[in-house]
């Protein structure tokens, strides 16, 4: 982990790393697109990043697999690799920092005292609350104890990944640790939830750039997720959507439809019930994404996905035209209710896009209201 002086401007730091002006502007353009803003805002992003004083960052890991760290550090799209490391001053990150033991804890305490109310926190992993938090301790302190101090003294907290946002796999049925996300563990924080398993590092970069450019966090939905990343359904931007609309479905792995790139709905794809920008930003430097390589979406960006979206290869019930009544009895009314409101949610799509555009003006958009579901089904946010 390379550290630079937090007072040093981003552009100065990048120049020292050999990043060209052209690469920097390419980054600013790409991240503006990732924030779902009009391209003209790229110049404003560039101007802000050139002069910004980089905030200190504390990165906490609790009940996790470090997958979000991996995702963030591999996030070369839409960023220039060095830009990610230089957007903030990485003062504490247990996985990649050089100090250990008491020296590491001193780095944490020094950041809290020197940058109180100004630093950012990224939390990766869920927080166990059962049995006084004994299932996750660091330096003799429980995760909840550490999180209360570190997040409580920060400017803002970014919960990264489905474990930190909604509890994730540790909170799935049968879990014994009382795992919850940051919002449930410490209500009232200034917080952004970046869900998915793992969260896409490009969305983390876009969130930080939004803060550095507009001096506020991005507009969010009622799950506190940025609208630019979670405002629309995967199903509505999927390149296989034309096949869905035409009734062309993969019926079996490797069949003719699979080889032709047809819709994966019948193979269990959860794209019709998942809000995420995977189709637009993709993964691994924009190389591809799950549906692009022929596998259905697992719904990893949604709350309780491990319980609600499994079995992963069972057809998602309740999508119009596919026998709501039958699958409702087989799979459960909760999931059916959420998906059955798709028609209404689609109708609200233009409203969500308008909210997304509203943030380009610098105004915070209101959280989406609950969409009324068809009679007899549960409402959906």
Give me the residue whose beta carbon is nearest to ligand SF4: 271
359 binds ligand SF4 (CB under 6 A): no
Q: Which is nearer to ligand F3S, 42 or 234 (CB)?
A: 234
Subset of 169-198 contacting ligand F3S (CB under 6 A): 196
Counting DSSP H helices and E strands in the chain, the numbers are 19, 9
Mapped onto helix, strand or coil, the DSSP state of residue 355 is helix
Binding mask 198-237 for ligand F3S (x = CB under 6 A): ------------------------------------x---
Beta strands 179-180; 127-128: pairing state: antiparallel
Per the rule left: phi > 0, alpha: psi between -120 and 50, beta: everything else, 133 is left
Token pair of 173, please? 């049925």
271 binds ligand SF4 (CB under 6 A): yes
DSSP for 289-353, please give it.
Answer: -TGGGT-----TTSTTHHHHS-STTSPPTT-TTS-HHHHHHHH-HHHHHHHHTHHHHHHTHHHHH
289 binds ligand F3S (CB under 6 A): yes
Whether the CB-CB separation of 11 and 54 falls below 8 Å is answered with no
Whether the CB-CB separation of 133 and 142 falls below 8 Å is answered with yes
User: Among ligand SF4, ligand F3S, none, what does residue 318 contact (CB within 5–8 Å per kind)?
Assistant: none
Beta strands 156-160; 191-194: pairing state: parallel
146 binds ligand SF4 (CB under 6 A): no
Q: What is the smallest separation between the CB atom of 123 and ligand F3S, expressed in angstroms? A: 19
User: Among ligand SF4, ligand F3S, none, what does residue 298 contact (CB within 5–8 Å per kind)?
Assistant: ligand F3S
14 binds ligand SF4 (CB under 6 A): no
Per the rule left: phi > 0, alpha: psi between -120 and 50, beta: everything else, 157 is beta
Query: Out of 58, 143, 205, 278, which residue is the one contacting ligand F3S (CB under 6 A)?
Result: 278
CA distance 134 to 24: 45
Whether the CB-CB separation of 244 and 271 falls below 8 Å is answered with no
224 binds ligand SF4 (CB under 6 A): no
Whether the CB-CB separation of 62 and 147 falls below 8 Å is answered with yes
Q: What is the smallest separation between the CB atom of 225 and ligand F3S, expressed in angstroms? A: 12
265 binds ligand SF4 (CB under 6 A): yes
Q: What is the smallest separation between the CB atom of 363 and ligand F3S, expressed in angstroms? A: 28
Token pair of 291, please? 């549906």
User: Among ligand F3S, ligand SF4, none, what does residue 244 contact (CB within 5–8 Å per kind)?
Assistant: ligand SF4
Choose one: 96-104, 242-250, 289-297, 373-381; the region binding ligand F3S (CB under 6 A).
Answer: 289-297
CA distance 46 to 360: 15
Mapped onto helix, strand or coil, the DSSP state of residue 32 is helix
Q: Which is nearer to ligand F3S, 207 or 274 (CB)?
A: 274
Subset of 276-305 contacting ligand SF4 (CB under 6 A): 291, 296-297
48 binds ligand SF4 (CB under 6 A): no
User: Among ligand SF4, ligand F3S, none, what does residue 263 contact (CB within 5–8 Å per kind)?
Assistant: ligand SF4
| Residues found near ligand F3S in the complex (CB under 6 A) | 196, 234, 274, 276, 278, 289-291, 297-298, 300-301
């Amino acid at each position: 982990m390379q550290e630079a002086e937090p007072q040093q401007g981003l552009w100065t730091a990048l120049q020292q790393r050999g990043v060209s002006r052209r690469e920097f502007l390419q980054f600013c353009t790409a991240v503006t697109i990732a924030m779902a803003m009009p391209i003209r805002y790229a110049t404003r992003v560039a101007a802000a990043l050139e002069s910004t004083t980089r905030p200190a960052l504390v990165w906490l890991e609790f009940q996790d697999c470090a997958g979000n760290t991996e995702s963030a550090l591999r996030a070369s799209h839409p960023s220039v690799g060095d830009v990610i490391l230089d957007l903030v001053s990485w003062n504490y990150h247990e996985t990649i920092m050089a100090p250990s033991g008491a020296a590491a804890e001193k780095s944490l305490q020094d950041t809290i005292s020197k940058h109180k109310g100004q630093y950012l926190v990224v939390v990766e992993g869920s927080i166990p609350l059962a049995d006084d938090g004994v299932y996750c301790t660091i330096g003799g302190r429980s995760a909840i104890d550490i999180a209360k101090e570190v997040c409580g003294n920060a400017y803002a907290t970014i919960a990264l990944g489905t474990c930190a946002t909604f509890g994730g796999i540790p909170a799935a049925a049968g879990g014994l640790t009382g795992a919850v996300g940051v919002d449930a563990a410490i209500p009232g924080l200034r917080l952004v939830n970046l869900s998915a398993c793992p969260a896409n590092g490009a969305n983390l970069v876009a969130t930080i750039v939004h803060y550095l450019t507009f001096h506020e966090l991005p507009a969010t939905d009622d799950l506190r997720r940025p609208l630019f990343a979670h405002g629309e359904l995967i199903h509505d931007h999927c390149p296989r959507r034309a096949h869905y609309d035409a009734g062309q479905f993969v019926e079996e792995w490797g069949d003719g439809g699979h080889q032709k790139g047809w819709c994966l709905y019948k193979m269990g794809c959860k794209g019709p019930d998942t809000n995420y920008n995977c189709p637009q930003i993709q993964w691994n430097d924009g190389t591809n994404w799950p549906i692009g390589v022929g596998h259905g979406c697992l719904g990893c960006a949604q709350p309780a996905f491990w319980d609600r979206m499994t079995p992963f290869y069972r057809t998602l019930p309740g999508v119009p035209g596919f026998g709501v009544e039958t699958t409702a009895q087989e799979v459960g009314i909760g999931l059916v209710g959420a998906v059955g409101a798709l028609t209404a949610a689609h109708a609200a799509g233009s409203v969500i896009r308008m909210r997304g555009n509203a943030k380009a003006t610098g105004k915070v958009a209101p959280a989406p209201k609950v969409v009324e579901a068809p009679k007899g089904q549960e409402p959906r946010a």
